[in-house]
Amino acid sequence: MCVSAYLTANLRPGAEQKVVFITARVHPGETPSSFVCQGIIDFLVSQHPIAKVLRDHLVFKIAPMLNPDGVYLGNYRCSLMGFDLNRHWANPSPWAHPTLHGVKQLIIEMYNNPKINLEFYIDIHAHSTMMNGFMYGNIFEDEERFQRQAVLPKLLCQNAEDFSYSSTSFNRDAVKAGTGRRFLGGLLNDTSYCYTLEVSFYSYIVAGTTTAVPYTEEAYMKLGRNVARTFLDYYRLNSLVERPLAPTPKTRKEKEPLFKGTTPQGQGTGHVGSKLEKRSQTQPKDQSLPTQ
C-alpha cells in the first residue's frame, strides 16, 4: 500500500491529509519523553470525543523510540555505535543510524507527495536543568512565519498547567544544526513547523505559584494528552466535538495523597489574545495560562 493510501485509511471522506509527525527517545536516558509520548498515543486511540475528531481530520505518525539500542544498553545519550543520533539528521547512515535514516526517508517521501501536507514535526526530549515543559522552535526571516510558529506553544500553554511559554525560545544555534528540529525546519516549506518539546526530569511550577510540583509518570502522560488535544484548538475543530465531553482518559490510576487535607495546585486565569504580539527579540514573553 502506498503512503498516500495508508494515510487516508482512517480519515473522513474528502479530508485533507494533514500530517503531525512525532518522535521521541532519541536520547535513551531521557525517559520522561517516553511517558509524554505514551500519553499522546493513549489519548489518540481512546474513545474520547476529542480523540475521535482528531482521528477523523488529522494523520498522526509517531515513532516513539528512535534509539532502541541505546535504551536497551542503558546508555544516556548515544546509540549502540556511540553516536548522538540527534546530531546526524543531515546525512544519516542506513548502517550506523538505521532508525534515523528510515524516519527521515519516510518524512521526505511524505513531503514530496503533493497529496500530503506535513504540517508539524515534534521531537520529544527531557531536560536535566530546566523546569516545566517548554519548546524550542526555529528562527525565520519571514516575520509572519515566525509569528505563526508561536501559535501552537501558546495554545498548549492554555491547556497544560505545567507548560511554560516563558521558557519557550526560538534559535538557530550552530551546535543544534544536526538536530531534527533544525534540519527539518530548513528542509520543509513555510507551511510546516518543527519543534523540540522538552519536559523537566524533576518538577514544574504552576503559573501564579512558587511551589515546585514533582513530576510523576501520570503527570508526564497528562502533558502528552494535552499536547494531542491542543491540535483541536489549533485547527479549530472544537465545534465538531460531541457534547457533553467525556473526561480525559487516564492511563494510570492516580494515587491518593499521602496526607489528608492535601489539595491540588490551584489554577490561574488568563486568555490568549486573538492576535499574536509582535516580537523584536527571539525570547518570547511569559504567556503562562491555565489548564482547561
Which residues have a catalytic role annotated?
A: 198
Helix (H) or strand (E) holding 183, with range, is: helix 180-187
How many Å apart are CA 241 and CA 179, to the nearest integer?
36
How many Å apart are CA 226 and CA 163, to the nearest integer?
10
Quick check: 30 and 85 in contact, CB under 8 A?
no
How many Å apart are CA 196 and CA 140, to the nearest integer?
16
| Nearby residues of 196 by Cβ (< 8 Å), 6 or more positions away | 122, 123, 124, 125, 135, 136, 179, 180, 181
Quick check: 67 and 100 in contact, CB under 8 A?
no
How many Å apart are CA 189 and CA 114, to the nearest integer?
12
